[in-house]
Amino acid sequence: MSDTRSGGGAFLSDIQTLRQRAREHIAQGAVTPGYHADRSVVLKLLNEALATEIICTLRYKRHYFMAQGIHAEGVAEEFLQHAQEESQHADQIAERSTQLGGAPDFSPDGLASRSHAEYVEGHSLEEMIKEDLIAERIAIDSYREMIQYLGAEDSTTRRMLEEILAKEEEHADDLARLLEGIGGH
């Protein structure tokens, strides 16, 4: 193994080394020896995030149908849009797990306890919006921690989580506005 070192101690592997490493362990797909994160930890974190997104999808779906029943169409539409976006996040996370050689955990057994956010039904519109806002704030904090943990060790997963985090922040903002709109606080 030889490295091409440049002035400040930063280095890039030479082409021969990169080519040789790519040929070894080909069954590991996208996971090359240059992957420095602790894969088992990353896969566990991704499965927790997956559970969170599934729980959030289910909660928003429930809120969508219930809000329709109480003639809160504008809010219901927002719930539906969030449900769809949480479901897309679940797919992105599951896909990344398989790229890393893991298996996404879609099992309903223990789903609620793997999830960071909770499934709370809520009775009034105000309660629903508040519960959704709490769940988003939990998701925001846990994604932030994951992003910090990954740092430069797995930049692809980190970038994906950063994109998802930005969307969760948007969701939280939407909910805060809805709450204001219905006179809740």
Instruction: Answer left, alpha or beta for residue 110, where phi above 0 means left and psi between -120 and 50 means alpha.
Output: left
| Closer residue to Fe ion (CB): 127 or 169 | 169
- What is the smallest separation between the CB atom of 53 and Fe ion, expressed in angstroms? 5
Q: What six digits make up the tokens of 48?
A: 């927790």
- Please choose, out of 60-68, 73-81, 123-131, 170-178, the segment that lies near Fe ion by the rule CB under 5 A: 170-178
List the one residue from 59, 63, 89, 114 that touches Fe ion (CB under 5 A): 89
Both tokens of residue 65? 């149908």
Q: Of 48, 78, 86, 174, which lies in the binding site for Fe ion, with binding defined by CB under 5 A?
A: 86
Question: How far, in Å, CA of 103 to CA of 76, rounded?
Answer: 33
Burial of 175 (C-beta count, 10 Å sphere; 0-12/13-18/19+): buried
Nearer to Fe ion, 53 or 131 (CB): 53
Where on the chain is the footprint of Fe ion (CB under 5 A)?
53, 86, 89, 136, 168, 171
